[in-house]
Amino acid sequence: MSNSSWSSRGDELVKCPVTGCHHVGLIITKAHCKLVHNMTRDEVKKKYGFPKRVILLKRSQVMRINE
Q: Name the minimum Å distance from CB 31 to Zn ion.
A: 11
Give the C-alpha separation, 25 to 37, whole Å.
16
Decide whether 21 or 54 has the Cβ nearer to Zn ion.
Answer: 21
Give the C-alpha separation, 36 to 23, whole Å.
10
Comparing CA positions, the residue from 16, 19, 24, 25 lying closest to residue 51 is 16
Q: Name the minimum Å distance from CB 52 to Zn ion.
A: 11
Binding residues for Zn ion, per CB under 5 A?
16, 18, 21, 23, 36
Q: Name the minimum Å distance from CB 8 to Zn ion.
A: 15
